[in-house]
Amino acid sequence: MAPHHAEERLRNFILRRLIYAIPTLIGISIITFAIVRLSPGDPIRLFTFGQRDITGEDIERLRHLYGLDKPLPLQYVDWLLAMVQLNFGRSFIYHQDALQLLLTRVPNTLQLAVVALALQLVIGVPLGVIAALKRGTWLDGAIRIFGVAGHALPAFWLGLVLIIVFAVALRWLPSQGMLTVGKDVWDLPDRLRHILLPAFVLSLTGIANYSRILRTETLDVLSQDFVRTAHAKGLHERTVVFVHALRNALIPVVTALGGILAALVGGALVVEQVFSWPGVGQFTFQAAIAKDYPVVQAATMFVSVLLVVSYLLRDIAYAIVDPRIKTG
Amino acid sequence: MTRKQRTVRVLIAVLAATMLVATACTPAGPITSPSSTPEASATAQIQQGGRIIEGTISDIATMQPVLSNDTASGRVIALIYDSLLIQDPKNGEPKARMATFSVSSDGLTYSFELNAKANWSDGKPVTGQDFLTAVQAVGKSAKTVRKSNYQDVQGFNEYCGPAGTGKCLATASSISGITLDSANPKKFSVKMTRVSCPAILDLNTIQPLPTQVYGKYLTATSKPEDLDTAPENASPTVFSGPFKFKEWRKGDQIILSRNDTYWQGAPNVDEYVYKVVANATAITNGLKTGELTFGSVPAKDLADMQTVDTVAIQKYQSLGYTFIGWNTLSPTAVGLADKRVRQALAYGIDMDAVIKAVVFGEATKNLAHHVAVQWAYPTTALEQYKYDKAKAQQLLKDAGWTPGPDGILVNAAGKKFSLTISTNSGNNERETLAQVAADQYKQLGIQAQARPEAFQGLVTKLTTGDQTLEATIIGWNLGGDVDPYSIWHSSNVPDPAKKVEGFGFTGFKDPAMDKAIEEGRNPTNGDCSTAARKKQYDTFNKILNENQPYNFGYSNNVLAVAQKTLQNFAPASYSTIYNVHQWWIKK
């Protein structure tokens, strides 16, 4: 196959996937809108509940002001047209631009997700390799138990236990937030102390996954001919494992990275709640409780776009790394 | 086993043991000790500096008083803008704060004089014009829910907009009832269109706003959205309260710094941080670790908190109550229409035992609408509804409900007495209360069940008069004036057929009660004295106590926990921060 032909096929593949993303996002927008709007309750009645002397006219006035008195399909079209121009409306609660409010939280969640991702790789990969190299030993068993626990322990429970142990009892780490009150925002050691527990809890499932994948892949690679050849050539064990075997075993891990970051951002809700981490998840959760439609819709679309884009990147990575993936 | 493997195993064992010991042994400390009160620490040497960190579970929404409608925003606004008056922290009676006030003999005109020292942080004096600016802002805003607080001010409805909504006409460019004293800018008066006893606190709803900041949004050509989206709403620049706004890290914390020019004297502490955490557990943990200076904890955490020797706990009754509302118009639970049945449901539940089970004894049984910390709390004898199963059964029998072959009560028409008690899901306290109540009513032969559902949906059902609700557990906060009009006057009973909404979702109406409410609110003789109003509210509460449209449930204790280093901290039912400028941190 000529190189320029392969490039063209890849370009067409990316273009096609981008076009496919449009109906996907429209579908997500319809589902998001329907779920948010058809769930019971009304935001105006909610935030005026118990307000002394509030009248039916007041409620109607506010419903009209926020466009909630229009038929739902019309509200959806209004929202969609505005969204295309990146206008997600104003928060009912904060009276500020919903997207701007969301974007102020994004760096917080990204910090958490990136550190969690790093922990997944830094802990998960060596554990998988060690388990493969020490196959059948007590260490392999311990890593297996750790892996099962990583999947089985609910994040909210583990988070609370870690807070009780390391923050309340031992006072080694803070129990909540991103930064000690009064500390400079660039105080990195303080930030590190705050991010350790939530990032660990968020990364645990990933650590378990990576250690399992790496163990299987490493064992698979170690049994292949080129590794046996390397051994036969008299190469040092460490060189065989880290230069030859690990590099090949890591391919499925690297290609899976694209989807994982988006999954971490979307999945940080529980961890953010437990550790009072002011991220996208916690913000969206509070907005959902308050029926702050513009914020909930903006947040859902943001995470959806992130997922679609990251899956697209993953597919592209697959297509580049593994030519067997059909691009034509 | 190699030496290396042994070392790893020993390290793991040590770590595991450390975790076990750490979780098992929480530090034991003395049982609750009273916090240092102003009297107790008055003699101590006040120290300057330090930082107060209050734990809260909600971020603020705005720092614009006109738009504020939530507790968190209200707290921060009260720290940066002082109000004209203050409610007595213990009984709620209005008292002078930034202004003294008097009422004319006909009860229609309120005259105010602002304290000569009251000033803005930019050095300008707080004047009557700043009060007018606040009222004009309410009139101008499209998003405020406060317009009804000012509707009895002469000329307000003519000024406010948009026209055609509510009572707003938008035909005038000024509010005729507010008169500024041209000789003394600190003096102003407000004329009402009718005598309204809640008016004095209604006029205090919005703090005076700096005209030098908000005046530009209130010109003839400015639009409502100019004010509603003003950048100063989220980042205010001029202040009259003890603290100045410094930074809002959204979803995380609001940082306020000391206002050195505060008219009552600069606060002792340098900073006040309103720290947002995820839930009540996080507040408890933050108080234990010292990350928070003070906050409220739920009753379930009280015993745990009492083992922490670095904090002090203060208890006081909350300004509200949790109740079971009976839908007296229910087409399915028809028994609820009968007063005797509702009384039976009061005798048939052991509320004292419920309080122990649900809130660990940290509440006071409530018998009528007003709670004990309000001056309107009835002094006349009320039926106590002490647990009496036999009496409850007799009342049910008198009302025509007798046990069927399966033990379930049936009426003459053969209809079984079934009762679904709804409450908002996720509120553990109320869910437990619903379950305990259902269990106790089953003992009376009622087919009772608890049904948690989303609060958002429940609110719509209640205010629109959805008749599928039979009984509902929720709660009221009773801040501000004691006027119960919105909840109990018959005009606020929702009527789905006429699309009338309101908070009178029990459907209970009583002409004598209406009259008492009206006389307590807009007395025909113009007498708004506490004594005169209290007489009306005694009648009102007596009617409710007898008719039991609610089981009035209980009023929780607030459990305020503070680090022992915090001095002069003396929260009460009506306010926590009324003396915040006098708080100080013992180093």
CA distances to A82, A241, A253, A260 from A209, in Å = 40, 20, 10, 11
- DSSP letters for A124-141: HHHHHHHHHHTTTSHHHH
Rounded Cα gap, residues A158 and B472, in angstroms: 35
Choice between A187 and A225, residue whose per-residue pLDDT is larger: A187
Which residues, other chains included, contact A274 with Cβ-Cβ below 8 Å and sequence gap of 6+? A155, A156, A159, A160, A163, A198, A201, B278
For chain B, how far is it from start to end, CA to CA, in angstroms? 54
The pLDDT of residue B20 = 37
Q: Do A278 and B250 touch (CB under 8 A)?
A: yes
CA distances to B158, B197, B483, B529, B532 from B522, in Å = 21, 6, 10, 12, 12
pLDDT tens digits in sequence order for chain B, 587 residues long: 455 554 444 444 444 434 433 333 333 333 333 444 444 455 568 999 999 999 999 999 999 999 998 999 999 999 999 999 999 988 888 999 999 999 999 999 999 999 999 999 999 999 999 999 999 999 999 999 898 899 999 999 999 988 876 788 999 999 999 999 999 999 999 999 999 999 999 999 999 999 999 999 999 999 999 999 999 999 999 999 999 999 999 989 999 999 999 999 999 999 999 999 989 999 999 999 999 999 999 999 999 999 999 999 999 999 999 999 999 999 999 999 999 999 999 999 999 999 999 999 999 999 999 999 999 999 888 999 999 999 999 999 999 999 999 999 999 999 999 999 999 998 999 999 999 999 999 999 999 999 999 998 999 999 999 999 999 999 999 988 999 999 999 999 999 888 888 999 999 999 999 999 999 999 999 999 999 999 999 999 999 999 999 999 999 999 999 999 999 999 999 999 999 999 999 98
| Residue A248 in contact with partner chain B when CB distance is under 8 A | no
Q: Do B234 and A96 touch (CB under 8 A)?
A: yes
- Which helix (H) or strand (E) segment holds residue B402: the answer is strand B402-403
The pLDDT of residue A220 = 87
Q: Which of A53, A90, A137, A293 to mutate to test the interface with B (most CBs of B within 10 A)?
A: A53
- Of B337, B332, B327, which is closest to residue B462 (Cα–Cα)? B327
- DSSP letters for B73-132: HHHHHHHHS--SEEE-TTT--EEESSEEEEE-TTS-EEEEEE-TT-B-TTSPBP-HHHHH
Task: Locate A126 and state its tokens.
Answer: 């060596």
Cis amide linkage into residue B162, ω under 30° from 0: yes
Rounded Cα gap, residues B511 and A126, in angstroms: 78
Q: Which of B145, B165, B278 is facing A51, going by the closest CB pair?
A: B145
Size of interface A-B (CB pairs under 8 A): 178
β partners of residue B73: none
Q: How far is A63 from chain B (nearest CA, A)?
A: 10
The pLDDT of residue A50 = 80
Query: Has residue A251 got a pLDDT over 80?
Result: no
The pLDDT of residue A70 = 93
pLDDT tens sequence across A114-166: 899 899 889 998 899 899 989 999 999 999 999 899 889 999 999 999 999 99
Rounded Cα gap, residues B263 and B118, in angstroms: 5
The pLDDT of residue A261 = 66
Q: Which of A52, A90, A92 to mutate to test the interface with B (most CBs of B within 10 A)?
A: A52
Q: How far is B361 from chain A (nearest CA, A)?
A: 26
User: Which long-range contacts (C-beta less than 8 Å, at least 24 apart) are formed by A134-140?
Assistant: A135/A219, A140/A215
Rounded Cα gap, residues B253 and B54, in angstroms: 10
Report chain A's mean pLDDT, rounded to a whole number. Answer: 86
The pLDDT of residue A269 = 85
Share of chain A above pLDDT 70, in %: 92
Q: How many CB atoms are closer than 10 A to CB A232?
A: 9
- Of B427, B419, B464, which is closest to residue B446 (Cα–Cα)? B419
Rounded Cα gap, residues B114 and B97, in angstroms: 9
User: Buried (b) or exposed (e) across B418-452, using 16+ Cβ within 10 A?
Assistant: ebbbbbbeebebbbbbbbbbbebbeebbbbbbbbb
| Residue A13 in contact with partner chain B when CB distance is under 8 A | no
> DSSP secondary-structure letter at B34?
P
Q: Position of tokens 């509804």?
A: B385
Q: Which of B23, B457, B476 is facing A40, going by the closest CB pair?
A: B457
Q: How far is B265 from chain A (nearest CA, A)?
A: 24
- Summary count for chain A: helices (H), strands (E): 15, 0
Residue B392 burial by Cβ neighbours in a 10 Å radius (0-12, 13-18, 19+): buried
Q: How far is B139 from chain A (nearest CA, A)?
A: 13
On whether the CB atoms of residues B235 and B514 are closer than 8 A, the answer is no
The pLDDT of residue B400 = 97
Pairing of strands B187-191, B584-585: unpaired
The pLDDT of residue B35 = 43
Q: Which of B275, B457, B485 is facing A181, going by the closest CB pair?
A: B275
Using a CB-CB distance cutoff of 8 angstroms, which residues of chain B are in contact with residue A108? 251
Residue B477 burial by Cβ neighbours in a 10 Å radius (0-12, 13-18, 19+): exposed
Q: Do A56 and B500 touch (CB under 8 A)?
A: yes
Task: Locate B197 and state its tokens.
Answer: 């006893």
Q: Do B286 and A278 touch (CB under 8 A)?
A: no
Within 13 A of B407's CA, how many CA atoms are on the CB side? 7
Question: From B231, which residue of chain A is nearest by alpha-carbon distance?
Answer: A96
SS3 of residue B259 by DSSP: coil
Q: How many CB atoms are closer than 10 A to CB A68?
A: 17
Q: How far is A161 from chain B (nearest CA, A)?
A: 9
Question: From A167, which residue of chain B is nearest by alpha-carbon distance?
Answer: B289
Question: From B254, which residue of chain A is nearest by alpha-carbon distance?
Answer: A181
Pairing of strands B447-453, B311-317: unpaired
A98-133 and A293-321 are packed helices; what angle lies between their axes, rounded to 10 degrees?
40
Q: Which amino acid is at B152?
A: D
- C-alpha angle A151-A157-A162 in degrees, rounded to nearest 5: 100
| Residue A95 in contact with partner chain B when CB distance is under 8 A | yes
Q: Do A273 and B288 touch (CB under 8 A)?
A: no
pLDDT tens sequence across A61-118: 888 888 899 999 999 999 999 999 999 999 999 989 999 999 999 999 989 988 998 9
Task: Locate B58 and state its tokens.
Answer: 């909600």
Choice between A258 and A18, residue whose per-residue pLDDT is larger: A18
- DSSP letters for B411-456: -TT--B-EEEEEEETT-HHHHHHHHHHHHHHHTTT-EEEEEEE-HH
Interface confidence, given as ipTM, is 0.84
Mean pLDDT of A253-275: 75
β partners of residue B180: B188
Which residues, other chains included, contact B507 with Cβ-Cβ below 8 Å and sequence gap of 6+? B327, B328, B329, B465, B493
Task: Locate A301 and state its tokens.
Answer: 């679309």
Q: Do A171 and B289 touch (CB under 8 A)?
A: yes
Q: Position of tokens 């409610």?
A: B87
Using a CB-CB distance cutoff of 8 angstroms, which residues of chain B are in contact with residue A59? 501
pTM, whole model, 2 decimals?
A: 0.88
Q: How far is A96 from chain B (nearest CA, A)?
A: 7
| Residue A100 in contact with partner chain B when CB distance is under 8 A | no
